[in-house]
Amino acid sequence: MIEPLVEEFRYYDYTQERNSTVLTAYETLLREIAIEFGADPSVAAQDAKDFVDLKIEIFKLKTSIFHINQPFEVISTTLDKLYSNTSFTWLGLPQAITALFRSVNISLRNDEKIFIHDPSKANTFDKLKEILENKTEREIRNLFGFHYAMSKSFFKERVKEIKAKYFKVGPTDTMKKTNGLRVHKEIVVVVVIVVAVVAVVVVVVVVAAAIVLVVVVVVVVKGVVVVVVVVIVVVTMFRIKLPIPPTSERCQEETRASFFKIISKEYVRRAVSETTKPTLSAMHDKIKKSFRDAHYNTTWMGNKTRQNVLFKLEKLSLQNILPEHGFDDESLEEEYKDMMLSPKNYFKNRDTIQYHKLKRDLKKLRKPLLSVE
């Protein structure tokens, strides 16, 4: 277990004033996404405002990654101890853990060990409970729903325009002054050490192959001394090759990654109207061919591995779907029938979608770790 929905890619957004350009742009983005999924504009506006307000409150619980003394510390507890914790139980964490494993016929004992990453965040759940207790059910659902809708809205032209505007809005001058240099002062030393170590490694690797010039530059940036080590290769005597040893597992994983991309195209092809299917089908065939060519033209595969990969690709060409899952029209329809967003309630199916995804992932626990099928 880790801190829930506290980390944020653009974490600095939540350090701004509530009426800042950044948060206003973010709120606009969320509103437009909701409208694209069929929400009433006035309802979408209120949902977006409530979401940003709630995210700001949750952000205040966040422990900056720059200030964690032991970021990799892990402690273990048991399932029954989680049930005895009021905050955990109120948030439904132990119940969710038990239910998810039960959905794939895995029973957890009361003394089952549960690992908590970074115990310094344990009180986060207590504070999170206090915040959520004062929120409506709709606000809590939207806390998750907006994140899901954001990832599913990339194909909307209007949303792409709004996203482009949002991501062009950078941190304000105040943020740059307070969160930029001040926060990162604490990692300057780490950066310098890493750069120095990398430089030494580079020198050791290429010293037999080239004449190396090492330049040390000392720069003072607003009172912070930054040491930059520059390694310049002057004359290369011979080429050093550092090939990555090919493995059957690696080849198979890359092939499966291609298949997962293809099956998403297959689902779209089957779900759209009959008039557009020929166009999508032709696109789908081109995608399959490009994946096949990419694997066929690789030079680092062993013969046996290449045969396995090509065999899978041939099966894919015949079935148009992911071979090892064995989907047909009926099973594919059954898999996705409850996963469509409703135009009247645009976050209605969020829980169902997440449940299906987690159930599918948990089933993988029963497969051998090095399975290639």
CATH number for the domain spanning 162: value is 1.10.1380.10
Provide mean pLDDT across the span 107-119. Answer: 70
Is 302 part of a structural domain of the chain?
yes
Question: Buried (b) or exposed (e) across 37-62, using 16+ Cβ within 10 A?
Answer: bebeeeebbbbbebbbebbebbbebb
In angstroms, the CA 249 to CA 305 distance is: 9
Q: Are residues 29 and 166 in the same domain?
A: yes
DSSP secondary structure of 125-145: HHHHHHHHHTS-HHHHHHHHH
- The Cα 348–Cα 339 span in angstroms is 10
155 falls in which pLDDT band (50, 70, 90)? low
Does residue 323 have a pLDDT over 50? no
Q: Say which amino acid occupies 328.
A: D
Work out the mean pLDDT of the chain and round it to a whole number: 60
Residue 103: C-alpha distances to residues 92, 96, 235, 358 (Å): 16, 10, 62, 10
Q: Are residues 166 and 185 in the same domain?
A: no
Q: Rounded CA gap, 343 and 149, in Å? A: 12
Q: What is the pLDDT of residues 213-262, one digit of tens each?
A: 344 444 444 444 444 443 333 333 333 333 444 444 555 455 455 445 55
pLDDT tens string 285-321: 666 666 666 666 666 667 777 677 667 666 655 544 3
pLDDT(134) > 60: yes
Q: Which of left, alpha, beta for 239 (phi over 0: left; psi -120 to 50: alpha)?
A: beta
pLDDT at 171 over 60: no
Same domain, 77 and 150: yes
Residue 83 CA to residue 96 CA, distance in Å, equals 11
Residue 269 belongs to a domain? yes
Same domain, 185 and 264: no
- Output the six-digit token pair for 56: 């700001």
| Domain assignment of residue 5, yes or no | no
Burial degree of 213 (CB within 10 A; 0-12, 13-18, 19+): exposed
- Alpha-carbon Rg for the chain, nearest whole angstrom, is 26
Last residue of a domain, one of 171, 188, 209: 171
Q: Is residue 361 part of a domain?
A: no
With a CB cutoff of 8 Å and minimum separation 6, the contacts of 72 are 117, 118
* Residue 342 placed within a domain: no
Instruction: Identify whether residues 223 and 259 lie together within a single domain.
Output: no
User: pLDDT class for 10, splitting at 50, 70, 90?
Assistant: low
Of 287, 286, 310, nearest in space to 298 by CA: 310
| Structure confidence at residue 49 (pLDDT) | 92
- Per-residue confidence (pLDDT) for residue 16, from 0 to 100: 76
Instruction: List % helix, strand, coil for the chain (3-state, nearest 5).
Output: 60, 10, 30
Other C-beta atoms within 10 Å of 291: how many?
Answer: 19
Q: What is the DSSP string of 28-95?
A: HHHHHHHHHTT--HHHHHHHHHHHHHHHHHHHTTPPPGGG-S-TT-EEEEEHHHHHH-HHHHHHTHHH
Distance CA 113, CA 71 (A): 20
Helix (H/G/I), strand (E/B), else coil: 188? helix
pTM tops 0.75, yes or no: no
Check whether 193 has a pLDDT greater than 80: no
Determine the Cα–Cα distance for residues 334 and 233; give it in Å rounded to an integer: 59
Tokens of 78: 């048991």
Q: Is 368 within a domain?
A: no
Query: Beta partners for 215?
Result: 230
Q: Are residues 156 and 195 in the same domain?
A: no
Q: Which amino acid, one-letter code, is at 214?
A: V
Structurally, the chain folds into a number of domains equal to: 3
161 with 39, same domain: the answer is: yes
Q: Is 113 within the bounds of a domain?
A: yes
Whether residue 91 is predicted with pLDDT greater than 80 in this model: the reply is no
| Burial (0-12, 13-18, 19+ Cβ within 10 Å), 13 | buried
Q: Which domain holds residue 83?
A: 11-171
Please give the Cα distance from 222 to 176 (Å, whole number). Answer: 13
d(CA 8, CA 26): 13
